[in-house]
Amino acid sequence: MLGKKMEKMMNKQVNREFYAAYLYLSMAAYFDTLNLSGFAQWMRTQTQEEVVHAMKIFDYIQERGGKVILEAIEKPSAKLSSPLAAFEAAYEHEQKVTGWINELVDAAREEKDHASVIFLQWYVTEQVEEEQSVDAIVNHLKMVGDSPHALLMIDRELGKRAFNAPASGSQV
């Protein structure tokens, strides 16, 4: 059974994951307005991943006998000034998520909730990948500066990203 402290923290993380989906969807809309469909595709795929992350925790709470409580999702900021600024904001957000996941792991260890520690290891690994992926794009955007030709090349590359839905009933 999931302890009350972990249940509360997990519910908060569900909300945070859905917020991340909103954040990335707002960034997709921003890139669509710039006619950067590859950047928008990358963000749409990220949106789908964040929903999967939220639902994985949602299901886990219920599997452990907890109660899912959905709260209002905060509106993401609409202030984006460039592709670089958007990806810097995404990187900053992923760093926050890493901190929140680490707090969950720490709490699970304090509670001696071994099942949650094991469950959360997937998120620890995922966050390393998330940060690395976004940081690489930030670095590429910094390298190309204001070059429209290079920006279009990055756009084409980012547009290749596709969402791979997890198999039904499997752990993500």
pLDDT in tens, 156-170: 999 999 888 776 554
Triad 52, 54, 58: Cα angle to 5°:
110
For the domain made up of 4-158, the CATH class stated in words is mainly alpha
pLDDT of 99 higher than 70: yes
- Would you state the pLDDT for residue 168? 55
- Please give the structure tokens belonging to residue 78: 């609409």
Q: Which of 27, 55, 57, 32 is nearest to 43 (CA)?
A: 27
At residue 164, the pLDDT reads 85
Mean pLDDT of all residues in 69-74? 96
Mean pLDDT of the 17-29 span:
98
For residue 165, the 8-state DSSP code is P
Model confidence at 171: pLDDT above 90: no
Average pLDDT over residues 1-26: 97
118-144 pLDDT tens trace: 999 999 999 999 999 999 999 999 999
Q: Is the pLDDT of residue 76 over 60?
A: yes
- Is the pLDDT confidence value at 91 over 60? yes
Q: How confident is the model over 49-63, as a mean pLDDT?
A: 98
SS3 (DSSP) at 97: helix
Could you state, in order of their start, the residue ranges of all structural domains in the chain? Answer: 4-158
CB within 8 Å of 121: residues ≥ 6 apart = 105
- Between 3-12, 35-44, 70-79, 88-97, the lowest mean confidence (pLDDT) is in 70-79
